[in-house]
Amino acid sequence: MPKKIMVVPEKVRQHATLKIREIPVNAYKSTVSDEIKSGSDVTLETCLRVYRDMALIREFETMLDNIKKLGAYRGIEYSHAGPAHLSIGQEGAAVGEALHLTVDDHVYGSHRSHGEFIAKGLRAVQDLAGGGLEGIMTSYFGGATLKVVEANEPDWTGLSLTPAGKKKALM
């Protein structure tokens, strides 16, 4: 049986006043170091992970932009006839949204939601590390996707920060 919501125009369109308190803008002044020292759940590892995830999403968006505008990405030609709705600059929102999600949570988006889906996927990969992910990838399409990833594993050494970089991140 469908639910009914009675909408009475005379009631919903009555004159009223909405009063709110002042809303501070740009009031947050803490540094990463302050957050880590505060005892919150923010750690240097979490901050580096967030930065890495934002950088990966930005690289994806850059790839999509290059494919659309130049017909190639890093020397690989690709013709994309459709639109490219980018979300460059929104990486922080996507990663922040996914930071506290679990593997079982769902994300819904629109034509500009690449970042949200990538961030959610990276978060799920983090939660499934230690065997859970390998089981999924091995069974998914008989491991075909995993074989492609293994055959084209990138050099990840450039993604880790040096000790000097970690120290600078705390300032």
- The three-state secondary structure class of 29 is coil
Residue 63: domain span: 36-150
C-alpha distances in angstroms, 144 versus 103, 138, 147, 148? 22, 8, 5, 7
User: What's the confidence (pLDDT) of residue 157?
Assistant: 66
- Residue-wise pLDDT for 89-129, tens only, equals 999 999 999 999 999 999 998 888 899 999 999 999 999 98
Measure the CA–CA gap between 27 and 108, rounded to whole angstroms: 31
In a domain, 73, yes or no: yes
In a domain, 60, yes or no: yes
> Does 61 have pLDDT greater than 60?
yes
In a domain, 7, yes or no: no
User: What's the confidence (pLDDT) of residue 158?
Assistant: 60
Q: What is the mean pLDDT of residues 12-30?
A: 90
State how many domains the chain has.
Answer: 1
